[in-house]
Homo-oligomer: A and B are copies of this chain.
Amino acid sequence: MTKADTISKRNRILNIAEELFAQRGYDGVTLRQIASGANVDVALASYHFGKKLDLFNAVFERRAELLNASRLSALRLAQDNANKKGPSVEQVIEAFLRPLEIAQESGDEGWKNYLALIAYVNNSPHWGALMMSKIFDELVNEFIAALRKALPNAKHEDIYWCYHNLSGALTLTLAQTGRIDKLSKGACRSSDFRAAYDVMIPFAAAGFRKVCKARKD
């Protein structure tokens, strides 16, 4: 057994766990399904990761740093290119969303599964608040600050509610449920993140502007 094989088994577990958890949620997946999907023994997941919940967390955290770094650098780039008033709402939202196209462009299915997993967690009353905050709050607060700067007249809570709307639209996109495909009879495809963001950016930007313009109390 070479080192390469070892890494590959560990990663195969993470990959298949990512896919299955994204599809069926934490409770909908068994360690045996994961093991069989990765072509390894049932006990190997426990050996590498400990309890089922630890594996779930490992999957959730694996790509988090990379994703956060990618979004943050997009934001920094927009800030560097802006004048001292800072980037526009559109530019901030663009920096928030476009890095997620990595899933589509890299052709790496793993990223798509990971993003669907985020959607599962973010929309879950059970996991949502805690897991999301732990991993994403620092980054999200950066974006909130940038949005506040772009909308200086915004009422304090309105920024959060608007962000919530954006986050919801994004979450449903990442979940890739196929619903829009059915509803639109094929005119739109769940898998087409780029098309989704092409609409979501002007949609959300207009929403932010409308709600946050001159409503300060």
Contacts and interface: CB of A to CB of B under 8 A. Distances in A.
Nearest to A160: B184
Interface string A142-182: 00100000000000111011111111111111011111111
Nearest to A128: B177
A212 B171 CA distance: 22
Nearest to A144: B183
Nearest to A159: B184
A53 interface: no
A119 interface: yes
A200 B161 CA distance: 8
> Copies of this chain, how many?
2
Size category of the A interface is 35 or more
Given A158-B199, A161-B196, A184-B160, A122 B168 contact: no
Interface string A19-63: 000111111100000000000000000000000000000000000
B161 A199 contact: yes
21 contacts: A22-B125, A23-B126, A25-B124, A26-B28, A27-B27, A124-B175, A124-B177, A128-B177, A129-B177, A133-B183, A156-B187, A157-B188, A157-B195, A162-B203, A164-B196, A168-B169, A172-B172, A202-B207, A203-B210, A206-B207, A206-B209
Interface of A: 22-28, 116, 119-120, 122-126, 128-129, 132-133, 137, 140-141, 144, 156-158, 160-173, 175-184, 187-188, 195-196, 199-200, 202-211
